[in-house]
Amino acid sequence: MYLNFKYRLKPNKSQKMLLEHHFFIVNQVWNFCLNKFQEESKLKSYSSIKSYEKLVGEYLKERKLSYNSGIVQQEIQKFFKSLRIKLNKKDGFLNFKKSSLIQQSFEFKNQGIDISHSHFKIMKQKIKIVYHRELPGFPKKILVKREADGKFYLICSVQVQSQEETYTGVDCGIDMNVNNVSIAESNGTVTLNTITKLAKYDKKYLKIQKKLSVRYEAKNYSKNTKKLQKNLNKIHKKVSNVKNNFFHILSRILVKNFDRITIENLEIKQMLTSKKGKRLNRSISEVSWGSLVAMLQYKSELFNKTLIKIHPAYTSQRCFSCGHIERKNRQGQANFKCTLCGHKDNADKNAAKNILRYEEWMIDQLALLEQKALAQA
């Protein structure tokens, strides 16, 4: 399996210009390919990837733009990969890229690069790197990225071997909510975990956001507006770092301490939530758990542990004590009280217990259905 290793880059002024130039180049390549594909779609006559590579090369030379051929080639392949995914899923259309956006990236294969403890060599330029940990191997693919705070990063994709982790004989069920995660263990322990340090960013973020929305509505793009946008991006990046740090620590603890981890399928959960007309992310302090799930996915594979995704239906409405399902069981966001047996619990902890014993509950339900079928026969 492949893992990504992220390092901070510290380019000087000329190196920064070189990286930004290639952000612009890949955007031009993407937009050219998308425009060409749209034209071909009207005529229902499509060219090969090799034809696109030739046409893109001619287009860039015509505009007298210097470029790295490996980066351009990777962007064309990335375009067609994204296009295939969209066409197969029948999920909307690809969008044109804007070079004005702060967040930009380009990727390329490992030919002609060198990474050491002090620098990253690309296109005959030695860019200073913060080499905080060893790479376990030579990267197959490399991504250069500028994030929302304007800082540059190098992301290396390296093949790693699965590692043996000690088996504990303990399983867990996890309920992920707007701003906390409940963990129910098979030994009876239930814990509620919340990401700290996030709420303090809310007021500051919303204040700047309101100011910006007024300025953008008035089409005010002054230096002060750009400064406000930069401050907003910095807050967003800080919050993102806090969340990712929490996700990495929590996912490592879970994989180390439990043999089988059961979670809700977030894709189904989000679809059900959107049908009800609710939004999960109302403020910057509220958490989207997709990153945690992705980390659990690769870490459980890396350490030979089992990750199970279940259908989220009724996990928050079912009483863990007697199995009774009713919407009224959940009395608000935090409290749970069964209308049948009177069992009381924290609503999130009750849901985590239900997720842990989901398979057992499903077997019981199937047994009941079989009994009913036999009785009717």
Residue 216 and residue 193: Cα distance in Å, rounded? 38
- Greatest distance between any 2 Cα atoms in the chain: 82
Residue 141 and residue 156: Cα distance in Å, rounded? 6
Dihedral sign, CA of 279, 283, 286, 292? positive
Residues of the chain with pLDDT > 70, as a percent, come to: 93
The dihedrals phi and psi of 375, each to the nearest 5 degrees, come to: -65, -40
Sequence-separated (6 or more) residues with CB below 8 Å from residue 313: 272
pLDDT tens per residue, range 17-62: 999 999 999 999 999 999 999 999 888 888 889 999 999 999 999 9
With CA atoms as reference, report the closest residue to 204 among 280, 147, 284, 279: 284
Residue-level pLDDT at 268:
59
| Domains of the chain, residue spans | 2-159, 171-310, 327-376
Supply the DSSP string of 210-243, one letter for each residue.
HHHHHHHHTT---HHHHHHHHHHHHHHHHHHHHH
Looking up tokens 């229902």 gives 44
Contact of 99 with 24, CB cutoff 8 Å:
yes
Q: What is the mean pLDDT of residues 173-186?
A: 88
Q: What is the mean pLDDT of residues 92-101?
A: 85
Report helix, strand or coil for 157: strand
pLDDT tens per residue, range 68-93: 888 999 999 999 999 988 888 777 78
Contact of 217 with 229, CB cutoff 8 Å:
no
Structure tokens at 364: 């019981």
**pLDDT band for position 217 (cuts 50, 70, 90):** confident
Residue 134 and residue 136: Cα distance in Å, rounded? 6
